[in-house]
Structure 1
Amino acid sequence: MLSLPLLTGFGTGLSLIAAIGAQNAFVLRQGLRRQHVWAVVLVCAVSDAVLIFAGIAGLGFLVSAAPWILSAARIGGALFLLTYAVFAAKRALHPATMSVEEGASGPSRGPVILTTLALTWLNPHVYLDTVVLLGSVASAQGDPGRWKFGVGAVLASIIWFGALGFGARLLHGFFAKPLSWRILDAAVAVVMLVIAALLIIPLF
């Protein structure tokens, strides 16, 4: 029988993870291109699990007590997102000839994993959502409820990223057209720019 803390963790985690962001946009793009999807999904899910359980264990207090950590993450994350936005915009304006079937000729696994790690760990919102927010909600569940809450949140992360990465192939027909990739890259560039701006503005 499923426990209430586990269901609460699943629902809370899913509501935070499913928000539109740089990480989700990247997972979707890799899923559409069918490039190293297993690696991307695994990195995202494992990273979320580490952060969620770190928050439940009490790391959220450290992040809250040291605002400079988030400030440094904001700057680093914004610079990375701006760089990624430039490349996405370049692909939208000057697309290479590529379809879904040709996606296997893309970047090797190493750069893709590094990009996934950067989009995850350089995003200060991930610390606020997983470490601080989920950690705080989990603490209200008591023991051992908070750990069941964490398991529920981790399950939500695994299911979401798996569905996003592997479910993207259902859009195969639409993204068989080069114009569709230009639209996607343009949307990704806008999302990255907006998130980068939102990261930097609070520092001024």
Structure 2
Amino acid sequence: MTHTAALALASGLGFGLSLIIAIGAQNAFLLRQGLLREHVLPVVAVCSVSDVILIAAGVGGLGSLLDAAPWLVDVMRIGGAVFLLVYAALAARRALRPSAMAAEEARSGTSLWPVVTTAMALTWLNPHVYLDTLVLLGSVAATHGDDRWWFGAGAMTGSIVWFTALGYGARLLRPVFARPVAWRVLDALIAVVMVAIAATLLHGL
């Protein structure tokens, strides 16, 4: 590996982490699954593989497709906002009604697919993901010329490390969440985050 390739790899790692560490719908969902110790590996896999695909597409220059079809971004904004608002309503319901939270956990604990499909929806229905990976990250990667794929590899590595650490590291917070009130606070915060993201999506129309 050349010096410039190593620099591009490190830059991609730092840039990728800066994009995904911020509190968002995807991270909030993964944190909750990690605390529940429920289907953590599949959710980590969905988030990581999705990011790898999107980063590769961004480095490959597919961000130009969004420039050619701006209406597609608007469609994604509306669809993503609707989904986030529905998820926010469910989180708010759990926060306000502990009985609803207990019933929902009992149902969700029996099936993998609702968890996986939710993780996929929170990833692929969020227009910010496309803007961050296809447009922003792709543009920065292009500045590294022939080493842009090293930059992409660094960003991919950052995503995999972050999602794995968040999903499996969440269990360290289990003592805090031994009290039901802590779960209610977490769900309230998740509801606020989802509504705030949905509002930013609709504001951009």
**Structure 2 Cα separation of the partners of residues 107 and 78 of structure 1:** 28
**Structure 1 Cα separation of the partners of residues 204 and 108 of structure 2:** 40
Q: Tell whether 2:173 aligns with 1:177.
A: no
1:78 to 78, 81, 84: 81
Letter of the structure 2 residue corresponding to residue 160 of structure 1 = W
Letter of the structure 2 residue corresponding to residue 136 of structure 1 = S
Aligned residues of 1:59 and 1:131 also touching (Cα < 8 A): yes
2:166 to 164, 167, 174: 164
Q: Tell whether 2:134 aligns with 1:147.
A: no
1:37-73 CA-to-partner distances (Å, cap 9, x unmatched) read 0000000000000000001111011112211111111
Provide the residue aligned with 2:141 in structure 1.
Answer: 138
Provide the residue aligned with 2:17 in structure 1.
Answer: 14
Q: Tell whether 2:41 aligns with 1:41.
A: no
1:119 to 122, 130, 138: 122
Aligned residues of 2:108 and 2:114 also touching (Cα < 8 A): no
Which structure 2 residue ranges, 5 or more long, are not aligned? none
Residues 62 and 123 of structure 1: is their aligned pair in 2 closer, same or farther, counting only changes over 3 Å?
Answer: same
3-state secondary structure, aligned to 2:182? helix
Residues 91 and 181 of structure 1: is their aligned pair in 2 closer, same or farther, counting only changes over 3 Å?
Answer: same
Which structure 1 residue ranges, 5 or more long, are not aligned? none
Instruction: Report deviation, 1:14.
Output: 0.3
Give the number of equivalent residue pairs: 199
Of stretches 66-75 and 5-14 in structure 1, the one that deviates more from structure 2 is: 66-75
**Structure 2 Cα separation of the partners of residues 59 and 38 of structure 1:** 29
Root-mean-square deviation (Å): 1.7
**Structure 2 Cα separation of the partners of residues 105 and 69 of structure 1:** 32
Residues 138 and 103 of structure 1: is their aligned pair in 2 closer, same or farther, counting only changes over 3 Å?
Answer: farther
Aligned residues of 2:66 and 2:72 also touching (Cα < 8 A): yes
Of stretches 77-86 and 89-98 in structure 1, the one that deviates more from structure 2 is: 89-98
**Structure 1 Cα separation of the partners of residues 98 and 127 of structure 2:** 31
Q: Tell whether 2:112 aligns with 1:109.
A: yes
The runs of at least 4 aligned residues of structure 1 exceeding 6 Å deviation read 102-105
Instruction: Report deviation, 1:107.
Output: 4.8
Relative to the length of structure 1, the TM-score reads 0.93
Provide the residue aligned with 1:26 in structure 2.
Answer: 29
Aligned residues of 1:34 and 1:103 also touching (Cα < 8 A): no
Aligned residues of 1:43 and 1:113 also touching (Cα < 8 A): yes
Provide the residue aligned with 1:88 in structure 2.
Answer: 91
Same amino acid, percent of matched pairs: 63
Relative to the length of structure 2, the TM-score reads 0.93
3-state secondary structure, aligned to 2:38? coil
**Structure 1 Cα separation of the partners of residues 107 and 38 of structure 2:** 6
